[in-house]
Amino acid sequence: PPLKIAWVSPANSPPVIASPILPIEVALVLMLPVIALEDVENAVVALQTAQERERQFAIALDAANNSAILSRSQYRTGLTDFTTLNQQEVALLSARNGATQARADAATALVALYAALGGGWDATVIPQAPISNPEAR
């Protein structure tokens, strides 16, 4: 049978009966904080993973850049052929693309964390830059 809640109203009025509450509705209401916490935890893990991936890609980008510099130098002096130089340039481009994607993933994860924490913003509102007028002070 559904649960009914009753309480006594003031001064000889009949008791007020609230609408019936089904057990499934109670369970859903009790689960909301758990679901919200899970969303926050997932967003934190995603952000940490994205930031670690960003650090790893920064290291890879630095190594690819150094390798490309060395290959260019060797190509100019005739120590290596164009194919080797081209392979290093492709590796550098790939590392740049990976680093850019990792940075975008970290930004997306940060926005997801803000949203999971209840943050948000109105996309239609464009903030105005503060006017700095030294004469107005």
How many helices (H) and strands (E) the chain has is answered by 2, 2
CB contact at 8 A, 121 and 90 = no
Say how far apart CA 61 and CA 68 lie, in whole Å.
10
Residues 6+ apart with CB under 8 A from 18: 4, 5, 6
What's the pLDDT at 32? Answer: 78
Say how far apart CA 106 and CA 115 lie, in whole Å.
14
Say how far apart CA 40 and CA 117 lie, in whole Å.
6
Rounded average pLDDT over 100-113: 94
Which stretch, 17-31, 69-83, 120-134, has highest mean pLDDT? Answer: 69-83
- The better pLDDT of the pair 30, 66 is held by 66
